Amino acid sequence: MPQNKYRHGLLAFVSSHPTNKVNIVSALRVLFRFWKQEHIFDGRFDDLFDTCKVWKREQMPSFYTAEEIMVVENSISRSSGVGKRNYAMVLLASRLGLRASDIAGLQFNNIDWDKNLIIFKMQKTGKTIELPLLADVGNAIIDYLRHGRPNSTLQNVFLSARAPYVGATKACVCAAINTIICHSGIDTGGKHHGPHSLRHSLAATMLNNGTVLPVISETLGHKITQTTMSYLKIDIASLLKCALPVPPVPNAFYMQRGGAFYE
C-alpha cells in the first residue's frame, strides 16, 4: 500500500486532536522508534512530522509572593504531632527549596547539628547538596522530633501519621503541603499548590532580592545554570528594566496611500 496513504491518515489523525496534539505526536514518535528498532518497518516515516509543527504553550512556573508564603506557613496549627511534622516539611520546601522526594527521604544522618548543615543526595539528580540549616527550620524539626514524632527506630526524620509508622513518602509530603496551601486562604487560582510551587516561590523571592543565578542554581541543586534560567520569566521587575521605549509613529505614516490604514 502506498506510503502516502499512511502519511495522510496519520497526519489527519493528529490534526483531528488539536487540544492534545503534543502528547499524540510524542507518543507516535516513540512508537515509530520502537518499530524501527524491532525492524517492523524500515524507518521511512522518520520525517513524517516535519510538516506537522507542534508548539508547546509557554509554561509559567507557579509561585507565590513572600507575603503569601508567610500566610501559608502561619496557617499551620502546630498543636498536634502531625501539625508539627507538616510545619517542618513546609519550611524545608519554602525556605530551602527541597523537593517532596528529598523531604520524604531525609534521614538523621543528613543533618549536621554541630555545623548547622543539611547534606544529602538529591533523588532526582543524584547530586550531593549542602544547605544551611536555618534556625527556623532546625527549630521546627526539633519540635517535631521531641513532641510529635512517634517512637520509632527508623532513620527517616518524618514518619506517617498513623500506625504502623513508616517513613513518609513523596505522596504523603505532596498531599500534606497541597492541603495546607489550599486551606491557607491565599489565592491559588490558576496555580499549582504543591511542594514544587514553594520551590518556585523561593527562586522568585531570591530573584526579587537580587540574588545571582549561580547562587540560586546551587541552592536549588540544579546541575546547570541554564535550568535556573527558566525562572527569569517570572522576574517581572527585572524584565521591566529591559523594556525599550516605543517611539511615537507620525501621523503621516497612517496617511500613506490616501489613509489606507484607516479604512
Strand duo 111-112 + 117-121: pairing: antiparallel
Query: Which of 84, 149, 196, 200 is the catalytic position?
Result: 196
DSSP state of 156: B
Check if 8 is active-site.
no
Active-site position among 84, 99, 149, 200: 99
99 catalytic, yes or no?
yes
Residue 228 grid cell: 535556573
- 124 catalytically annotated: yes
146 flagged as catalytic: no
> Out of 64, 87, 144, 231, which one is annotated catalytic?
231
Catalytic residue (one of 33, 124, 147, 183): 124
| Catalytic site includes residue 199 | yes
Residue 64 designated active-site: no
Active-site entry in 85, 149, 193, 199: 199
Kindly list the catalytic residues. Answer: 99, 124, 196, 199, 222, 231
